[in-house]
Structure 1
Amino acid sequence: MNPYISIIIPAYNEEDKIKDTLENIRNISEINEIVVVDDGSSDNTTKIASEVKDDKIKVFKLDKNRGKGYALNYGLEIAMKNADIIGFLDGDLGSSSNEVKKLITPILNNEADVIIAKFPPAKKKGGLGFVKGLAKDSVLELTGVELDATLSGQRIFKREVLEQFNEIPFGYGVEVGMTIDILKKGYTIKEVLVNMTHSETGRDLKGFIHRGKQYYHIKKVLRAKKKEWR
């Protein structure tokens, strides 16, 4: 019997990309359910997502913007009812969302407990590498495992891994915190190179503010994890 696979897509103001993101995964035969959680968008994300007609797709809208962690937890409550395998995908992947097939295959082949998408190099210059370096070095320090894609939100999990978490952590440190916990609990992670693309933050004020928040949140998560796992 084939495992039941659910994909959770947290989306905030993604009216330009959400249709393409959904259209390019809904025909993947291994995927049984797609749970879109609109995180209180002020645009037409919910309307456009709902117009993609497929029995696999379930669209929910939160009453206000509550953050990615909250949206993922909301989606998990729905997905955990049936799923053996659960994936997280961002809503802004557009047509490159079909690359999720490269993540599904190794989890079905039991190559690891968690598969993380490793993106190609960014097309435009982003930050100075501080956030990525902090995440990578900290995971290595705490777990002894070297990973390149610790910040990637595109992940596929065996159900048993997610059952270890009472809830997904909130804030920009969610991926790093989860990665540390997963490895410390003895589960395995494999990175897979994909040709996914999504909205990139540049070297403008908005981009630096975003990365500043990321850095702060990751440092906060790391302080907690060092206490937790010492």
Structure 2
Amino acid sequence: MNPYISIIIPAYNEENKIKDTLENIKNIDEINEIVVVDDGSSDNTTEVAKTVNSDKIKVFRLDKNKGKGYALNYGLKIAMENADIIGFLDGDLGSSSSEVKKLITPILNNEADVIIAKFPAAKKKGGLGFVKGLAKDSVLEMTGESLDATLSGQRIFKKEVLEKFDEIPFGYGVEVGMTIDILKYGYKIKEVLVNMTHSETGRDLKGFIHRGKQYYHIKKVLRQKRKEWR
């Protein structure tokens, strides 16, 4: 019997991308369920998501913006009921969401317990590499594993891995914290190169503020993980 695969998509103000994101995964045979959690958007994300015609898609809307971690936990409560394999995808992938197939295949082949999408190099100059460097170096220091895509939110998990977590951590450090825990628990992670694209932050004030928050959150998560795993 084929495993039941659920994909969770937390989305905030993605009315321009959510339709393409959903249209390009709804016909992937291996995917049984797509759980969209609108994280209190101020635009028409929910309404647009509901226009996509597929019995696989379930759309939920939070009454206010509570952050990606909260939205993922909300989606997980629904997905865990039936799923054997659960994926996280961002709502702004657009047509490149179809690349999730490259993440599903290796987990079905039992090549690893968690598959992480490794994106091609960004088209525009982003930050100065501090956040990526902090994430990569810290995972290596704490686990002995060298991974390039520790910040990637596009991931596919065997259910048993997610069952180890009472809840998904909140904040921008969620991916780094989970990566450390997963490796410490002894599970295998594999990175797979995909041709996915999503909204990039540039070298403007907004971009630097975003990366500053990321850096702060990751530092906070790392302090917590060092205490937990010492």
Cα distance per residue 1:40-97 (max 9 Å; x no partner): 0000000000010110000000000000000000000000000000000000000000
Specify the alignment match of 2:176 in structure 1: 176
Cα distance per residue 1:131-158 (max 9 Å; x no partner): 0000000000000000000000000000
* Structural mapping, 1:32-111, within 5 Å: 32-111=32-111
Distance of 1:144 and 1:47 partners within structure 2: 45
Specify the alignment match of 1:14 in structure 2: 14
Secondary structure of the structure 1 residue equivalent to 2:59 = strand
Distance of 1:4 and 1:209 partners within structure 2: 39
Specify the alignment match of 2:128 in structure 1: 128
Distance of 1:14 and 1:228 partners within structure 2: 36
Secondary structure of the structure 2 residue equivalent to 1:9 = strand
Distance of 2:199 and 2:36 partners within structure 1: 18
Distance of 1:60 and 1:53 partners within structure 2: 16
Distance of 2:12 and 2:130 partners within structure 1: 26
- Aligned residues, how many? 230
Secondary structure of the structure 2 residue equivalent to 1:191 = strand
Amino acid at match of 1:229: W
Secondary structure of the structure 1 residue equivalent to 2:187 = coil
Following TM superposition, where does structure 1 have runs of at least 4 consecutive aligned residues deviating by more than 4 angstroms? none
Specify the alignment match of 2:185 in structure 1: 185
Among all aligned residue pairs of Structure 1 and Structure 2, give the percentage whose two residues are the same amino acid: 89
Distance of 2:166 and 2:125 partners within structure 1: 37
Distance of 2:224 and 2:74 partners within structure 1: 24
Secondary structure of the structure 2 residue equivalent to 1:157 = strand
Amino acid at match of 1:70: Y
Specify the alignment match of 1:216 in structure 2: 216
1:119 matched to 2:119? The reply is yes
Task: Compute the RMSD of aligned alpha carbons.
Answer: 0.2
- CA shift, 1:127, in A, is 0.1
TM, length-normalised to structure 1: 1.00
Distance of 1:16 and 1:51 partners within structure 2: 13
